Structure 1
Amino acid sequence: MSDAVTANPWSVLRRHTPARIGLGRSGISQPTAPQLAFQLAHAQARDAVHRALDHAAVDAAIRALGLPTLALHSAAADRHIYLQRPDLGRRLDETSIAQLASHTADERADIALVVADGLSALAIERHAAPFIAELRRVLTRDWRWAPVAIVRQGRVAIGDPIGEALGARLAVVLIGERPGLSSPDSMGIYVTWSPRTGRLDAERNCISNVRPEGLPPAAAAGRLAWLLGEARARRLTGVELKDDSVPAIAAAEPATNFLLGTP
């Protein structure tokens, strides 16, 4: 019956956000439709975590942009081990180490781009190639690229040994982020100056939630291009490099309480 659900006045705000607000109630419980939607979103998030990367499709999409690729693997042999042993996802397996050792490092390379499945292979399959295309469009021609490393079962820090082996000044890691209940395909970007094993998280910059419903790839590419330029000029990344690519709100502008409509 239509009167079985008590509407919530906040429901009008749902047009502005995918957050679960203003769902109403049925008695003391959540209505059936929002409950089913929650279960679907939870299942989609779980599927994204366990999904295997379609390496062939990602590799073909990146090669179509005119970039050579390297197929690498972390020390986590499979998804089950990867989820239980984060430390193994930060290291390369012996085959990949040998492959990189046989590759001549390019001391002139500015960027070692690493594409890793992370906790959402779906994010990489959907957004990695379109983002790289945007980044190539906005970066000036004086940037030299090492081959793009596509890594299965990888964590963020795996970009450090890869960037070091390729002789690049900067490692840029595109990785699937931990899925949320409204974002199973969110991609993160991590930038590290002078990559080498043992770098700390505080020595990286991060751009998060890259996807059409979050930070669109074109906007993320512009922000990354700014960070790369500053990193190369200042020879650092991390907590000492603040993202000022978007002008700050003027300090003199009074804050307004959206509920009361007053400062």
Structure 2
Amino acid sequence: MQTGEFGGETAVPASDLWSALRRRTQARIGLGRAGSALPTRHRLELQAAHAAARDAVHSPFAPDVIAAALPGTPTVRVRSTASDRLTYLQRPDLGRRLDPVDRAHLPTGEWDVVFVVADGLSSRAVHEHAAVVVRETTARLGGWNVAPVVLAEQARVALGDDVAHAMGAAMAVVLIGERPGMSAADSLGAYLTHRPVPGTTTDADRNCLSNIRPPRGLSYERAAAKLATLMARARELGLTGVGLKDDSGHEEELERLL
């Protein structure tokens, strides 16, 4: 309802109401119908979103794109034991394990953290967002010994456990393309794990930031502030996962911890 010229209430047309709501969400609401089907315009939009999601899953990972966006930052390239994209999609377990040959070539050291940029289920998300998140986060990590960035192909989140363990890093941050949906094909996730152990670390031992994809999702600055604060608190407490909560003012808490 809305107020009329003389103070009374008049009905708001249903089309105006749905238009106002659609401007505030990416959910497909109030699309109307054409007979028993969706209107042609909305049906075509749905088909385009489905095509974008499929393309995101199957598009090849381009580690050169990430390396070029991180000038001056050393990078290392690795693969999982999934030999190709079809195998990766059909055998998630192979995407969690590091190729033995690549493991042997990883540098080792007393690293505080290693960032693993992994294609996951959306290389598009990684190409568009990962390098900025790495730069924004490391800029907030004064005094941390950061390992070379690892660029991982055909990788699942748990591959970061294998990488961190092989390199001697105390913490793994995996930036990975999330499963694309009908509203977003470019969503980046960040998974933080303290002292990961390959094969035994579970999702309950990780912290996750999801939907990093400005301007529709989490901004780079906010994601980096959240992530750096969680990392500092994880180092202070010696844990990540269900025992580590994000309940602080990020910049203020980070300044206290570092």
Matched, 1:115 2:105: no
Matched, 1:72 2:73: no
Give secondary structure in 2 for the equivalent of 1:138. coil
Write the mapping of 1:38-57 to structure 2, written as runs, cut at 5 A: 38-57=46-65
Q: Is the 8 A contact 1:203 1:237 kept in 2?
A: yes
* 1:256 aligned residue: none
Matched, 1:242 2:250: no
Given the two structures, how large is their TM-score scaled by the length of structure 1? Answer: 0.86
* 1:91 aligned residue: 97
In structure 1, distance between residues paired with 2:152 and 2:98: 9
Matched, 1:221 2:229: no
In the alignment, structure 1 segments of 5+ residues that lack a partner are: 1-5, 248-263
Q: Quote the offset at 1:137 in angstroms.
A: 2.5
Percent identical across equivalent pairs?
Answer: 52
Aligned residues: 235
* 1:253 aligned residue: none
In the alignment, structure 2 segments of 5+ residues that lack a partner are: 1-13, 251-258
* 1:189 aligned residue: 190
Q: Quote the offset at 1:246 in angstroms.
A: 5.1
In structure 2, distance between residues paired with 1:93 and 1:225: 29
Q: Quote the offset at 1:94 in angstroms.
A: 2.3
In structure 2, relative to structure 1, the CA distance for the partners of 1:246 and 1:23 (3 Å cut) is: farther
In structure 1, distance between residues paired with 2:37 and 2:95: 41
In structure 1, distance between residues paired with 2:210 and 2:61: 20
In structure 2, distance between residues paired with 1:98 and 1:119: 26
Give secondary structure in 2 for the equivalent of 1:118. coil
Given the two structures, how large is their TM-score scaled by the length of structure 2? Answer: 0.88
Matched, 1:18 2:26: yes
Give, as a single letter, the amino acid of the residue that structure 2 aligns with 1:49. Answer: V
After TM superposition, the structure 1 stretch with the greater mean CA deviation from structure 2, 129-138 or 112-121, is 129-138
Listed one character per residue, the Cα deviations across residues 108-161 of structure 1 (whole Å, up to 9, x for unaligned) are x1111100000000000000111112112323x211101110000000000001
Q: Is the 8 A contact 1:7 1:23 kept in 2?
A: no
Q: Is the 8 A contact 2:115 2:134 kept in 1?
A: no
Listed one character per residue, the Cα deviations across residues 222-252 of structure 1 (whole Å, up to 9, x for unaligned) are 00011001000000000111111359xxxxx
Listed one character per residue, the Cα deviations across residues 38-82 of structure 1 (whole Å, up to 9, x for unaligned) are 0000000011001101111112212x1x21110100000110100
Give secondary structure in 2 for the equivalent of 1:184. coil
Write the mapping of 1:116-195 to structure 2, written as runs, cut at 5 A: 116-139=118-141, 141-195=142-196
In structure 2, distance between residues paired with 1:147 and 1:133: 13
In structure 1, distance between residues paired with 2:45 and 2:248: 37
Q: C-alpha root-mean-square deviation of aligned residues, in Å? A: 1.5
Listed one character per residue, the Cα deviations across residues 188-228 of structure 1 (whole Å, up to 9, x for unaligned) are 00000012212111100000000101111111000001100
Listed one character per residue, the Cα deviations across residues 13-37 of structure 1 (whole Å, up to 9, x for unaligned) are 1111111112122233210000000
Q: Is the 8 A contact 2:126 2:188 kept in 1?
A: yes
* 1:230 aligned residue: 233
In structure 2, relative to structure 1, the CA distance for the partners of 1:11 and 1:246 (3 Å cut) is: farther
* 2:39 aligned residue: 31
Give, as a single letter, the amino acid of the residue that structure 1 aligns with 2:190. Answer: I
Q: Is the 8 A contact 1:119 1:176 kept in 2?
A: yes
